[in-house]
Each structure stands twice: as C-alpha cells, then as structure tokens.
Amino acid sequence: GENVEQHPSTLSVQEGDSAVIKCTYSDSASNYFPWYKQELGKGPQLIIDIRSNVGEKKDQRIAVTLNKTAKHFSLHITETQPEDSAVYFCAASPGAYNTDKLIFGTGTRLQVFP
C-alpha cells in the first residue's frame, strides 16, 4: 500500500526566512496531495493541495511543488511569521480513483522565532 515519508521532523527558522518541508510517496497511482496545518489544541486544517496533473500551486506565501517522476512533493512557506508555527502534515491519496482516504506523513513541527 501507499507509504508517505516526511522530512524534517522539526524545523526552526527566523521570522522572515523561508521554510521547506519535503515528502515522498510510494504509490505511483496516487494523484492528490494535500497539506494540513495543525495548530496547538486544534485538529489539522487543509492549507493547500495539488493534483498530479499540475507541477506547482501557489497561494499567497505558501506553495506546493510536485515531481511525479521522483514521487516527491514539497511545501514552501516564504516570509515566515510566528503564526506559521504549527505541525504540518503532508498526505497522499492511495490510488488514482479514491481521494477520500488519505495516507499521512509523520508531521513536521515548524517553529518560527521572532
């Protein structure tokens, strides 16, 4: 079945710097890759997603890139702010026709220092 690996497990950056989190997946049939942000005391919330027919997607300060050949995708956060501090999870859909069920990565704790 699908396996998703996520790195790094922790990431500390200075406010204003960029942060990059990387994930790899094993199932070449996966075609949907969301990123979730979990703030302290809350459930994860979708922040951006990408489908396999697109190589990059941006939404203000966040962007996701996908390399289907290498089976990896990354989250890029530019001009980081203290409110970006959270745990981030990548995920992949385990099969081309089922985007309801997701396999999640192990999470990255991002700390942005003022």
Partner 1 sequence: DVKVTQSSRYLVKRTGEKVFLECVQDMDHENMFWYRQDPGLGLRLIYFSYDVKMKEKGDIPEGYSVSREKKERFSLILESASTNQTSMYLCATIGQGRNEQFFGPGTRLTVL
Q: Which residues bind partner 1 (CB under 8 A)?
A: 1, 6, 9, 32, 34, 36, 41-46, 49, 89, 99-107
Q: Which amino acid is at 30?
A: S
Cβ closest to partner 1, residue 27 vs residue 49: 49
| Gap between the Cα atoms of 56 and 19, Å rounded | 16
To partner 1, the closest distance from the beta carbon of 55 in angstroms equals 18
Q: Could you give the residue ranges of the DSSP H alpha helices within the chain? A: none
Q: How far is the CB of 2 from partner 1 (least distance, A)?
A: 10
Q: At closest approach, how far in Å is the CB of 18 from partner 1?
A: 23
- Report the candidate in 35, 4, 13 with the shortest Cα–Cα distance to residue 84: 13
CA-CA distance, 39 to 47, in Å (whole number)? 12
Q: Which amino acid is at 75?
A: L
To partner 1, the closest distance from the beta carbon of 30 in angstroms equals 13
Taking the least distance from each CB to partner 1, the nearer of 33 and 112 is 33
Kindly give, in sequence order, each residue whose CB lies less than 8 Å from that of residue 104, ignoring residues fewer than 6 positions away.
4, 36, 89, 90, 91
Which of residues 25 and 36 has its CB atom nearest to partner 1 in the complex? 36
By beta-carbon proximity to partner 1, the closer residue of 9 and 81 is 9
